[in-house]
């Protein structure tokens, strides 16, 4: 299969290219890092790139939390306008297969259970609570403590920042494309991806990158809140393998199929910082109590649908992955 990989020179995209090659496919890289003219918002450039292509693996995106709404236009331009241009040209060229780099951020907060009221959806955390160190969401009905659980793909979307909003819009655009063309789309909602070639110390790289960069400087990782926020850290090679599995699967025409893509092993941010510090032989993490508006407290996924329907399973365990990441090269 000839596969156009947008963002194919980036962190996740470069691993997708390697995984496709290993499976005997022919990946074509479309990335501004290698060619300044390879912009998914450029209709002519996209048309040239799609010539003779069987499928598209769309990894190109502006990622990260974002800074309020100050950079909203740039996020929407790169993520949503870029996706719209790509899909428009795919429709014209008759390319009917798409795998989209989705994200767990579309869920907002994760799944919570109140002993009295069952599954509930707490709203955004209030600044006075965060400033006072009250980080755990409470039941929106009775105010009692909640137990976090695993989010399934049928959970309602509740994006809490600009980036999350653009990732959900990408899925809606893909759905409109699939319905109008009879194409088949898969959105892989990535959880916290880490591993070799991760960008170093940038606002868009993720907490694992910040911790790794600090340790490389001989500094202690700085952990926000109390370090007990739960995430699913999934290795980049496992994510790349999920992309290949999605491309090779018999996806239903005219639809977007959504899959959570995580390790299935929730860990706290503090646990991750300690594991990475230990693997690097660096100083112990410092828990700061600081917070960022727009961050959610707990978000971990149930990835059993991806395992059951596509036969995918993660191969890199948490401790093994952190040991490798501690030694791996990073990008500037």
Q: Residue 99: CA atoms inside 13 Å, Cβ hemisphere, count? A: 29
> What 3-state DSSP class applies to 188?
strand
Cβ burial of 40 (10 Å; 0-12, 13-18, 19+) is buried
Please give the positions annotated as active site.
163
Q: How many residues does the chain have?
A: 332
How far is 214 from 283, CA to CA, in rounded Å? 10
How far is 270 from 95, CA to CA, in rounded Å? 44
Q: 217 Cβ partners below 8 Å, 6+ apart? A: none
Structure tokens at 201: 């110390």
Identify the DSSP state of 115. T
How far is 137 from 193, CA to CA, in rounded Å? 25
Are the C-beta atoms of 108 and 160 separated by less than 8 Å?
A: yes
Q: 94 Cβ partners below 8 Å, 6+ apart? A: none
Handedness of CA 263, 323, 279, 286 (dihedral sign): negative
């Amino acid at each position: 299969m000839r596969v156009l990989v947008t963002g194919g020179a980036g962190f996740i995209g470069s691993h997708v290219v390697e995984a496709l090659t290993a499976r005997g496919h022919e990946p074509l890289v479309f990335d501004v890092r290698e060619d300044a003219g390879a912009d998914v918002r450029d209709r002519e450039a996209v048309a040239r790139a799609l010539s003779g292509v069987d499928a598209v693996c769309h990894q190109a995106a502006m990622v990260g939390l974002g800074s309020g709404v100050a950079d909203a236009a740039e996020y929407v331009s790169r993520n949503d306008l870029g996706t719209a241009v790509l899909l428009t040209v795919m429709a014209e060229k008759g390319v009917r297969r798409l795998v989209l780099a989705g994200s767990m951020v579309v869920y907002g907060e994760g799944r919570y259970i109140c002993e009295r009221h069952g599954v509930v959806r707490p709203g955004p955390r209030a600044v006075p609570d965060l400033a006072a160190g009250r980080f755990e969401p409470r039941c929106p009905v009775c105010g009692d403590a909640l137990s976090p659980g695993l989010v399934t793909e049928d959970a309602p979307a509740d994006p809490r920042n600009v980036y999350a909003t653009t990732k959900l819009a990408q899925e809606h655009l893909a759905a409109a494309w699939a319905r109008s063309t009879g194409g088949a789309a898969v959105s892989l909602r990535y959880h916290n991806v880490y591993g070799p070639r991760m960008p170093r110390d940038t606002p868009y790289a993720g907490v694992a990158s910040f911790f790794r960069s600090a340790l490389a400087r001989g500094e202690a990782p700085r952990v926000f809140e109390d370090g007990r926020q739960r995430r699913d850290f999934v290795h980049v090679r496992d994510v790349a393998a999920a992309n290949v599995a999605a491309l090779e699967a018999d996806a239903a025409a005219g639809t977007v199929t959504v899959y959570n893509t995580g390790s299935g092993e929730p860990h706290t941010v503090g646990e991750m910082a300690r594991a990475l510090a230990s693997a690097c032989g660096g100083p112990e993490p410092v828990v700061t109590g600081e917070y960022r508006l727009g961050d959610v407290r707990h978000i971990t996924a149930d990835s059993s649908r991806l395992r059951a329907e596509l036969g995918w399973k993660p191969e890199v365990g948490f401790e093994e992955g952190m040991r490798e990441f501690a030694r791996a090269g990073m990008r500037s």
